[in-house]
Structure 1
């Protein structure tokens, strides 16, 4: 695989979490997603650029495509800072929504039981 490994892993993360969108509705609220992901991504991209410039951080050329953004940041790194938080938000929202649904079902079940006991 070589230079495509990082991109393949990021793509797999998107594909694995994509079905969560059916319940989470993260992609249907793009402004919320951007407001959540963008500030953190920018912060870490600046941090990476500074670390690369100082020689404290580098990326193995065998595992990246070689496409670099300003500051010497590999495109894979920029994608990482967008894709991984988005997948985390999708997972969180799906769990939150499912938990709320299960709580409503339990409440309904308990109401039915208490009515039947009367």
Structure 2
């Protein structure tokens, strides 16, 4: 089913965004800073991918789950979407972990 991987990425990103919105962790706390961090992270990993593709380390496998649209040789459309999702997920997990640690430290001081 072409597009299933992209659909899975978008549904997963929507789930992470819902958790983010509920906890006001990243995008709902500081949207401009979060967007810049996601863009910088995505750009970094795209450059990493370009180097890997140029050296022959990364190649696109044939999968019926991809749309079949390539942005460059061996760089499917889904790759930057995945990289942006990865960066967003990392930011949300980091913010949630920091909040959890802060909550624990605050409770520890009260006891």
Name the TM tier (shorter chain).
0.7 to 0.9
Q: Any gaps of 5 or more consecutive residues in structure 1?
A: 111-118
TM-score, L = length of structure 1 = 0.70
Q: Would you say how many aligned residue pairs link Structure 1 and Structure 2? A: 107
Partner of 1:58: 60
Q: Which has the larger radius of gyration?
A: 1
In the TM superposition, 1:1-118 aligns within 5 A as 2-21=1-20, 22-28=22-28, 29-52=30-53, 56=57, 57-69=59-71, 71-72=72-73, 73-108=75-110, 110=111
Is contact 2:9-2:82 (8 Å) kept?
Answer: yes
Which digits, 9 at most, give the CA deviation of each residue in 1:83-114, with x for residues without a partner? 11101210110121122123212322x1xxxx
CA RMSD of aligned residues (A): 2.4
TM-score, L = length of structure 2 = 0.74
